[in-house]
Amino acid sequence: MGRAVEMGRPIFDIIGRGQFTDSYATQTIAGLSILSYVATLCARLGAKLYAPQSRADVMPVAIELVRDAYRSEGKLDDLDVDEQLPYLSDAQFAWAGGIIGMAARLRPAANIMIGPFWAESMMFAETFDRIGAMQVGGTARMYQIPFFAALCDYVLIGEEMFAAGAYVSGDPQQIGSIASQDWYKIAAIILSIVGALLATAGVTVISDLLLM
């Protein structure tokens, strides 16, 4: 954010094309949490934020989150929703082409992409890299992670995105959900190690329990 303010250039935050009714809803929610946090920092520091939208059901939530962020910093008058959160298109490549065009004209200093992405991920990452923007990319879609890893300065892989979204949101339910999953994983790892050691020693208690 500070880099964008110093350079006098805007910041882009792209949350992908997920919806609340599809299997990518959790990624969309994580992207919205990051967007709210980014909007708060932009309002506080005076950086101009652009968050082009694609989904009609997600757009009103994104707008209200950004409005609340600017309102909390006493900077609501600095926000122009029509300009900064435009609805581009529901069509994948029309939306992607619109964002690429905006990026070429506005030349942002930073680009944050957190959410579900498809073939447009490489297009975005390459375009923003060429104009010299610092990039943060994050998605749980396996086939798009390599593109972010290749071209972004920082990458959130899979569950790291959900953890980041929960952390910046401050929502106890989201944080509790991530924490409980971590504890279950720790327990599973411990059981796996203990089971392997016991099996090596000829004790099959763990494997017998798993077969029950």
Give residue 176's pLDDT: 86
Tell me the per-residue pLDDT of 136-176, one tens digit each, with 9 for 90 and over. 999 999 999 999 999 999 999 998 999 898 888 888 888 88
Q: Are residues 113 and 148 in the same domain?
A: yes
Which amino acid would we find at residue 87?
Answer: Y
pTM above 0.85, yes or no: yes
| Residue 90 vs residues 56, 57, 145, 205: alpha-carbon distances, Å | 8, 11, 23, 55
Tell me the per-residue pLDDT of 6-50, one tens digit each, with 9 for 90 and over. 999 999 999 999 999 999 999 999 999 999 999 999 999 999 999
Give residue 202's pLDDT: 81
Q: What residues make up the domain containing 181?
A: 172-212
User: What is the DSSP code (8-state) at residue 21?
Assistant: T
Tell me the per-residue pLDDT of 97-130, one tens digit each, with 9 for 90 and over. 999 999 999 999 999 999 999 999 999 999 999 9
**What's the CATH code of the domain at 99?**
3.40.50
Q: Are residues 196 and 152 in the same domain?
A: no
Q: Are residues 90 and 164 in the same domain?
A: yes
For 28-54, what is the HEC assignment? HHHHHHHHHHHHHHHHHHCCCEECCEC
Q: Are residues 25 and 106 in the same domain?
A: yes
Alpha helices (H) in the chain, listed in sequence order: 2-7, 25-45, 59-72, 81-84, 92-106, 120-130, 145-151, 159-169, 172-200, 205-211
Strand partners, 138: 114, 156
Q: Are residues 89 and 11 in the same domain?
A: yes
